Amino acid sequence: MAPPVVTSPEVTESGFGSLTASGLGTSDRERWTQRIASAAVTVQNADLDSDWDGRLAVVIATDSADFAVRTGTPADTASAVTACSGSSSVIVVNPVVLGSGDEWLTSTLVHEGVHVATGSACVAPGKGIGWANEGLAESVAADADPATESRNRTLVLAYLAEHGVPSVLPERLDTLTDYALAQLAVDELIDHLGERSDAFLRRAIHDAEAVTPAEREKVRGWYVAALRQLDS
């Protein structure tokens, strides 16, 4: 039996980043390059408090096993993951989502692009605050994509119908509903703090201990009040 043919990954560079993938045709590679550009511009326009260079490095994993190795995440739990590579970040895309629509894939790249811009993937586990990290990524993605905004609102309302109003900020971040709740917490933080939210989120994402109990309590209060209003 002849050995399987192994296709070397091809790298496509652009002004907005790079795409590393195997087996993509010219048109598919062009579409991914366009998605990377669109996501990068969206993240740039979010004007995050970071020293990001404006480029996104995207790798499409060859299969589920490759995705798990590159990210340390089972392939059945994530569409994409931003992984730390040295001092930089790489967005690894799960190949099972390649058939999804342009808007959804671009929104996914925006979410992961926020992680690249903030450098959160290179923060030691447990060092940052999860709801701030994922909530900011979802907030930027939802602001740019009406479908993401609508989905997250629906998920929050469904959560309230089943569980009622929680008394604490999101602790587990395993599901789309968890991410939607985290987005609400960050949206409330931004609404109340305005420009001061940049410094707060930077501390929260990079150094949880730099966020005081009083600051956490304020955000918790804003979050719970917003949920009560939605639940009324």
Q: What is the pLDDT of residue 11?
A: 94
Give the residue-averaged pLDDT of 181-195.
Answer: 97
pLDDT at 62 over 60: yes
Element (H, E) at 128: none
Give the residue-averaged pLDDT of 140-164.
Answer: 97
pLDDT at 173 over 90: yes
State the average pLDDT for the chain: 93
Q: What is the pLDDT of residue 7?
A: 62
Selection from 214, 223, 217 nearest residue 190 by Cα:
223
Distance CA 7, CA 37 (A): 25
User: What's the whole-model pTM score?
Assistant: 0.93
- Give per-residue pLDDT as tens, 11-51: 999 999 999 999 899 999 999 999 999 999 999 999 997 88
DSSP H helices in the chain: 26-45, 64-71, 102-118, 130-144, 146-163, 176-193, 197-206, 213-231
Q: Which residues, at least 6 apart from 22, have a Cβ–Cβ distance to it below 8 Å?
A: 7, 8, 9, 10, 60, 62
| More confident position, 6 or 213 | 213
Q: What is the pLDDT of residue 5?
A: 47
Q: What is the pLDDT of residue 86?
A: 82
Q: What is the pLDDT of residue 4?
A: 47
Residue 64's Cβ-count burial label (10 Å; 0-12, 13-18, 19+) is middle
Assigned token pair, 218 = 């304020």
pLDDT at 163 over 90: yes
Task: Report whether 93 contacts 133 (CB < 8 A).
Answer: no
